[in-house]
Amino acid sequence: MQLTERINRIQISPTSAVIAEAERLKAKGVDIADFGPGEPDFPTPDHIKKAAVRAIEQNYTKYTPTGGIMPLREAICTWHKRELGSSYDPKECVVNVGGKHSIFNAVSVLVQQGDEVIIPAPYWVSYPDIVKYAGGKPVHVETRPEDGFSVKASVIEKAITAKTRMVILSSPNNPTGGVVPPDEYERILAVCKKRNVWLMSDECYSHFTYEPHKPYSIASVAESKQHVIIIGSMSKTFAMTGWRIGYTLAPEALIQATVKLQSQSTSNPTSIAQHAALEAMRGSMDSVPVMLAEYAGGAGASSTACAPFPESPARTLAARSTRSPMSPRT
Ligand SMILES: Cc1ncc(COP(=O)(O)O)c(C=O)c1O
């Protein structure tokens, strides 16, 4: 079959491939543990599930505004300010169909043919393909175990060329669990500002940090907004992977462009999932420390026993998704 050059540039997400293979084996009755996706061991907290049931009963089952219902956009900004010290306005926020979709949208509207995007390695497997699909070129810079897999501003600065459009960081990192300390993050921001490069900060694992680290956002830094794109997700923090709700916080013009793209692709994220996410943002976060304690070695011991870099400064849920022999991650 003749497919576009565009689609032939990328491979299927290895995590999706592993999920599909695990389903196939389970259907054949094979008893397997699927370590493919970064999947919380926990069900979605009850108060969030109940909000979704209420949403169905109250007939919130229709189209919503493309960028998400206003109460959710407001609640995301309020939550992000309270938890991570930012100051976004709802017009600087868009709700997407999961964090991966948020990244896809932002890269699609900013990266064009020949643009370079710096991605520290080891990296989450979807970043390079999303960049390639947009026509960009992933440029990998190394992080080292002896630095706790934390990328340095000096390393990023050296990799920047006239073609660099964006730097993508995830901290805590999937797959290493490495955390970029706030002072280094600020140095990276300063480099991005100086060289006029976007800094995409993937915060999907923001709350999966262990002492001495704390949840941190570069958006808490004054004057950061014009160069920073924040990617967030309900998936890991609230054990909501299947609900598919993520968000982007960025300058208004960028948000408007992603809403335009979304309006011609997914339309709005699912109305019912948006109401569940609203409860996640407004309700209790008591489940988060419980999950963290389990991942640190309680009933979730399988995760830590398998951790690839147990000495890394932050062990994260992300790290759990990397070491299955089935998983083709880098
Ligand atoms: C680093 C990282 N960013 C983003 C995502 C996207 O998560 P979701 O699309 O479920 O919000 C994942 C999922 O595993 C991830 O590991």
Q: What is the domain count for the chain?
A: 1
**38: Cβ below 6 Å to ligand 1?**
yes
For residue 1, the CA-to-ligand 1 centroid distance in Å is 31
For residue 70, the CA-to-ligand 1 centroid distance in Å is 24
Asked if residue 325 has pLDDT above 50, the reply is: no
pLDDT of residue 17: 77
| Cα–Cα–Cα angle for 160, 163, 169, rounded to 5 degrees | 50
pLDDT of residue 13: 83
Q: Does residue 28 belong to any structural domain of this protein?
A: no
Q: Does residue 13 belong to any structural domain of this protein?
A: no
**318: Cβ below 6 Å to ligand 1?**
yes
Q: At 118, which amino acid appears?
A: I
Q: Does residue 295 belong to any structural domain of this protein?
A: no
Instruction: Kindly report, residue by residue over 294-314, the tens digit of the pLDDT.
Output: 888 754 433 333 333 333 333
Closest ligand 1 atom, CA of 202?
3
Cβ-contact 248, 96 below 8 angstroms? yes
For residue 148, the CA-to-ligand 1 centroid distance in Å is 21
Q: Does residue 59 belong to any structural domain of this protein?
A: yes
For residue 319, the CA-to-ligand 1 centroid distance in Å is 12
**235: Cβ below 6 Å to ligand 1?**
yes
Cβ-contact 122, 312 below 8 angstroms? no
Helix locations, 58-146, DSSP H? 70-84, 99-110, 126-133
| β pairing state of 228-233 and 246-249 | antiparallel
Cβ-contact 52, 272 below 8 angstroms? yes
Cβ-contact 306, 35 below 8 angstroms? yes
Q: Does residue 314 belong to any structural domain of this protein?
A: no
Asked if residue 221 has pLDDT above 80, the reply is: yes
Residues 261 and 186: their CA atoms lie apart, in Å, by 31
pLDDT of residue 36: 66
Of residues 12 and 182, more confidence is placed in 182
Domain that holds residue 139: 47-282
Residues 137 and 204: their CA atoms lie apart, in Å, by 23
Tokens of 229: 């794109």
Least reliable range by pLDDT among 65-79, 177-191, 294-308: 294-308
Residue 254: Cβ within 10 Å count: 19
Q: For tokens 């680290």, name the residue.
A: 213
Q: Tell me the best of 16, 102, 107, 124 to mutate to test the pocket of ligand 1, counting ligand atoms within 8 Å of each CB and taking the most.
A: 124
CA-wise closest residue to 318 among 157, 220, 215, 206: 206
Instruction: Kindly report, residue by residue over 127-161, the tens digit of the pLDDT.
Output: 999 999 999 999 999 999 999 999 999 999 999 99
Q: Does residue 309 belong to any structural domain of this protein?
A: no
Residues 177 and 281: their CA atoms lie apart, in Å, by 24
Cβ-contact 169, 119 below 8 angstroms? no
CA-wise closest residue to 276 among 308, 250, 309, 244: 244
Average pLDDT over every residue of 77-104: 98
Q: Does residue 173 belong to any structural domain of this protein?
A: yes
For position 105, which CATH number holds?
A: 3.40.640.10
Cβ-contact 281, 76 below 8 angstroms? yes
Asked if residue 7 has pLDDT above 70, the reply is: yes
Cβ-contact 131, 110 below 8 angstroms? no
Residue 35's pLDDT band, with cuts at 50, 70 and 90, is: low
For residue 2, the CA-to-ligand 1 centroid distance in Å is 31
Rounded to two decimals, what is the model's pTM?
A: 0.89
To the nearest whole percent, how much of the chain has pLDDT over 90? 77
pLDDT of residue 39: 72
For residue 219, the CA-to-ligand 1 centroid distance in Å is 19
Residues 263 and 105: their CA atoms lie apart, in Å, by 11
**100: Cβ below 6 Å to ligand 1?**
yes
Q: Does residue 52 belong to any structural domain of this protein?
A: yes
Average pLDDT over every residue of 32-39: 69
pLDDT of residue 328: 25
Residue 46: Cβ within 10 Å count: 9
pLDDT of residue 32: 79
Q: Tell me the best of 105, 208, 236 to mutate to test the pocket of ligand 1, counting ligand atoms within 8 Å of each CB and taking the most.
A: 236
What average pLDDT does the chain have? 89
For residue 245, the CA-to-ligand 1 centroid distance in Å is 11
Instruction: Kindly report, residue by residue over 108-120, the tens digit of the pLDDT.
Output: 999 999 999 999 9
Tokens of 319: 């790290």
Extract the runs of DSSP E, i.e. beta strands, from the chain.
93-96, 116-121, 137-142, 164-170, 198-202, 228-233, 246-249
Of residues 301 and 3, more confidence is placed in 3
For residue 291, the CA-to-ligand 1 centroid distance in Å is 17
pLDDT of residue 24: 85
Q: Tell me the best of 233, 248, 329 to mutate to test the pocket of ligand 1, counting ligand atoms within 8 Å of each CB and taking the most.
A: 233
Instruction: Kindly report, residue by residue over 245-263, the tens digit of the pLDDT.
Output: 999 999 999 999 999 999 9
Average pLDDT over every residue of 221-239: 97
pLDDT of residue 266: 98
